[in-house]
């Protein structure tokens, strides 16, 4: 009887250890293709897109991915130029400012591009789908897409900091 009880306790303890390990484990971040596929699948299911809408969404997703890949190549050039400046005897502030101004222009272009693609996707949705899409965006359910990741998560325990520098939250 005691042996049977010990075996049951050991099994329960092992199960609890596995559950705790799995719960605390971080997921691997998605690469761009995985994130795009995740978002498209999520939208397709949640909004119940028809085949024509899925095709349009897929085309938009590929265009966004291509544009983002091009932007990532630019980031490598910025990092390289910054490293060159930092390793030198003197930092050429004008060169860095010009480089970052170009980066800002690229970000503005990307913003306009993404808004145009959002409008393109919006145009193929029905009224009901638009309402559902608005709810998805508002709730931040796309996992880092529109609305951000974890936006509606509760605040972690401990002191909170307000928007003002160094001021505790009220």
Q: What is the DSSP string of 6-57?
A: HHHHHHHHHHHHHHHHHHHPPPPPP-HHHHHHHHHHHHHHHHT--HHHHHHH
Q: Is residue 2 part of a domain?
A: no
Q: What is the pLDDT of residues 114-134, one digit of tens each?
A: 899 999 999 999 999 999 998
Q: Is residue 41 part of a domain?
A: yes
Q: Is residue 158 part of a domain?
A: no
> Does pLDDT of 76 surpass 70?
yes
Q: Is residue 73 part of a domain?
A: yes
**Region of poorest pLDDT, from 5-19, 58-72, 84-98, 143-157:** 143-157
> Which residues constitute the domain of residue 79?
30-139
pLDDT at 26: 53
Q: Is residue 50 part of a domain?
A: yes
> Does pLDDT of 169 surpass 80?
no
**Number of domains present in the structure of the chain:** 1
Q: Is residue 55 part of a domain?
A: yes
pLDDT at 136: 86
């Amino acid at each position: 009887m005691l042996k049977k009880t010990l075996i049951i306790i050991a099994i329960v303890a092992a199960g609890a250890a596995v559950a705790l390990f799995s719960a605390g484990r971080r997921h691997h971040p998605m690469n761009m293709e995985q994130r795009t596929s995740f978002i498209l699948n999520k939208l397709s299911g949640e909004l119940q897109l028809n085949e024509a809408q899925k095709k349009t969404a897929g085309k938009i997703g590929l265009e966004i991915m291509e544009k983002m890949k091009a932007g990532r190549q630019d980031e490598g050039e910025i990092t390289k130029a910054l490293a060159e400046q930092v390793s030198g005897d003197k930092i050429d502030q004008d060169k860095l400012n010009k480089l970052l101004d170009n980066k800002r222009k690229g970000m503005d272009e990307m913003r306009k591009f993404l808004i145009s693609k959002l409008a393109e996707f919006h145009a193929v949705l029905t009224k009901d789908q638009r309402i559902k899409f608005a709810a998805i965006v508002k709730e931040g359910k796309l996992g880092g897409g529109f609305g951000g990741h974890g936006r509606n998560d509760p605040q972690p325990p401990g002191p909170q900091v307000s928007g003002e520098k160094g001021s505790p939250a009220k």
